[in-house]
Amino acid sequence: MDLIHEIKEKAKQHSMRIVLPEGGEERTLKAADIILEENLARLFLIGNPADIQQKAKGFGLKNIDKATIIDPVSHVNKARYVQLMLDLRKSKGLTQEEAERLIEDPLYLGVLMIKAGDADGEVAGAMNATGDVLRPAFQYVKTMPGISIVSGAFIMILKDKEFGEDGLMVFADCAVHPDPTDRELAEIAVATGKTTRAIAGFEPRIAMLSFSTKGSAKHAMVDKVVSATKIAREMDPSLKIDGELQADAAIIEAIGRSKAPGSEIAGKANVLVFPSLETGNIAYKLVQRLAHAEAIGPVLQGMAAPINDLSRGCSVSDIVNLVAITANQAAGMKG
């Protein structure tokens, strides 16, 4: 059974409530139809009800009636959510007028539904930029206890099964936090370990990547990765983690043995934690394009509830897959 099939089968068992704030968008609507047909999640579609119904009819979709459509302008919980916004951000200068305007923005409404306990997770980004999807989530849903930053992991499905876990690897942070400190990098490693167990379904062997292996180069950037490795081990002693390692020492057995003798990770890593967003984002895109790998994600990690961001170039099946992943994350968080 392939990974996506397994993720979908698990999602069916949980029946989580997922919000799609871009409810009137064509790919989102077509994905919703498949999600509802396959019972992967219960759905809230945010958008104008008449517009959604007319489009669903036009596309020949048969299952959209099973979703709950939320009109951002006139839904019943509007006043309750405005009050919740004020409770949470009046001290940051949010005014009643601003809150009343923002709650009509589907990206704010979606996260407020989650914060109020009316939904379990969200998938957006088919027509909105990453920052616009993440900012409301950061402001209202915030991070989980013990984690101060959100980051984004990709599950990489490689053609070459000799790498990682039978061809599966997890890369992070490839999507969110531009320049992490040592402590933040440690948090990214710990969060990625959890994502690997929960979503990719294997035990992580984490390499903290650098341009140096075990002191081969001296630089403040190397020191940051060494320190992050130490902090991550303290934060979660159950994790198998080593650094600093160069990419070749992390994934090629013979090079790992010669550059980092005695390391239980070198040459066997199935999770790569990059020292910055620049390196992580560039690396995942190169592996995706040059090695023809499938990149599933970004799976956002560290948020108090699962909110995931699509690429604006996403396909219908990307949306279906990310909703299934989000449903699994939500179920995992509910314990």
Binding site for ligand ACO (CB under 6 A): 130-131, 134-135, 138-139, 143, 149-150, 175-178, 281, 298, 311
Write down the least CB distance from residue 130 to ligand ACO, Å.
Answer: 4
Cα–Cα distance for residue pair 329/293, rounded to 1 Å: 23
Write down the least CB distance from residue 153 to ligand ACO, Å.
Answer: 11
- In angstroms, the first-to-last Cα distance of the chain is 25
Of residues 20 and 150, the one with the C-beta less far from ligand ACO: 150
Three-state DSSP state, 244:
strand
**Cis preceding linkage at 298, omega within 30:** yes
Cα–Cα distance for residue pair 196/169, rounded to 1 Å: 9
Of residues 252 and 271, the one with the C-beta less far from ligand ACO: 271
Of residues 246 and 326, the one with the C-beta less far from ligand ACO: 326
Of residues 227 and 301, the one with the C-beta less far from ligand ACO: 301
Write down the least CB distance from residue 144 to ligand ACO, Å.
Answer: 10
Three-state DSSP state, 209:
strand
Write down the least CB distance from residue 131 to ligand ACO, Å.
Answer: 3
Write down the least CB distance from residue 154 to ligand ACO, Å.
Answer: 8
Amino acid at 299: V
Cα–Cα distance for residue pair 201/91, rounded to 1 Å: 41
Write down the least CB distance from residue 56 to ligand ACO, Å.
Answer: 29
Select from 240, 238, 245 the least CA-distant residue to 261. 245
Of residues 165 and 173, the one with the C-beta less far from ligand ACO: 173
Asked if 270 and 204 count as a contact pair (C-beta separation under 8 A), the reply is yes
Of residues 143 and 276, the one with the C-beta less far from ligand ACO: 143
Count of residues making up the chain? 335
